Amino acid sequence: MSDHLFNRQHPAVKDEDRDRRRPIITVEGLTKRFEKNVVLDGLDLEIFSGETIAILGGSGSGKSVLLSLLVGLMEPDAGRITIDGQNTATFSRSRQWRELRLKIGFLFQGSALYDSLTIAENIAFILEHQSKLTDREIRQRVHEKLRLVELEDVENKMPNELSGGMQKRAALARAIVFDPRIVFYDEPTTGLDPVRGKHISELIVRLQHELQMTSIVVTHDLICASLVADRIAMLHGGKFLFTGSRDELQQSKIPYVREFLDAATHRC
Ligand SMILES: Nc1ncnc2c1ncn2[C@@H]1O[C@H](COP(=O)(O)OP(=O)(O)OP(=O)(O)O)[C@@H](O)[C@H]1O
Ligand SMILES: [Mg+2]
């Protein structure tokens, strides 16, 4: 890992803003097990409004499970999740989650575009079903979001006509089509070559600056985490072993953190 990635100045959260920051998501004692497999073992985390946090962890460490819990696709065995001041345990199953999900954009692991819909239809889908916008407004919104992710002239293409990187960007346009306050990204660079992976990471940073969202990026890609995040939390053995800045991560003496950084640096 080259030093410049860690030394890069990240302008998303200015020092003078720190005092004014408040947690938009709080996770307390979050536990999830599948029979004997304790995947998350009492996680505590505060995510601050306007920051980009990367949840870094190896395969199977529970990153996707954590995201599923945060958006109510799974229920925890113990612990509490508070989002935007609402304790999600008090939600009656569907309606309140539906309302909350309208504030949340989600980029799925794999792009999860609908194969039988065009790119424009994919992006417009949620607006057509969940908003009162007119057809013309929806078309404008789709065009605006595609431009934001640097995709031109793909409205009428089918997902399988796009490269993997273009599909990710289309999925990113879909994730932000509602102008969400919070965006979850599950492995945004997986399956992309290093150049395209870096491009997606830079796009996430740019969207963050332009749209001022709170972003949670789940990844095993150290370069992606280093490029996008104000803070990095490392998930291992059901716990956050480390939470801090890139620089602090690089200096960490925690054995698993060292092993992870060394392995990422010397990967073939
Ligand atoms: N629905 C489920 N039923 C049983 N076990 C599950 C279920 N979902 C996840 N798990 C288990 O939870 C653990 C964490 O899975 P998860 O998908 O969250 O990992 P991950 O960190 O996202 O990995 P990757 O980097 O490969 O995406 C794994 O052991 C997995 O087998
Ligand atoms: Mg996963």
| pLDDT range class, residue 65, cuts 50, 70, 90 | very high
What whole-number distance in Å separates Cα of residue 38 and Cα of residue 234?
Answer: 17
Question: Per residue in 208-261, pLDDT tens?
Answer: 888 889 999 999 999 999 999 999 999 999 999 999 999 999 999 999 999 999
Buried b (16+ CB within 10 A) or exposed e, 28-40: eebbbeeeeeebb
Task: Kindly indicate the confidence band of residue 8, based on its pLDDT and cuts at 50, 70 and 90.
Answer: very low
Report the candidate in 51, 34, 32 with the shortest Cα–Cα distance to residue 42.
32
Could you tell me the residue ranges of all domains in the chain? Answer: 1-6+18-24+49-96+181-268, 114-179
Residue-wise pLDDT for 93-143, tens only, equals 677 777 887 789 988 887 789 999 999 999 999 888 888 889 999 999 999
**CATH number assigned to the domain covering 1-6+18-24+49-96+181-268:** 3.40.50.300
Residue with CA closest to ligand 1 atom 30: 60
Mutate to test the pocket of ligand 1, among 34, 74, 187, 190 (most ligand atoms within 8 A of CB): 34
Query: How far is the centre of ligand 2, averaged over its atoms, from the C-alpha of 185 (Å)?
Result: 10
Q: How far is the CA of 72 from the centre of ligand 1 (A)?
A: 16
Residue 76: name the closest of 89, 63, 87, 64 by CA. Answer: 89
* Main-chain dihedrals φ then ψ at residue 180, nearest 5 degrees: -70, 155
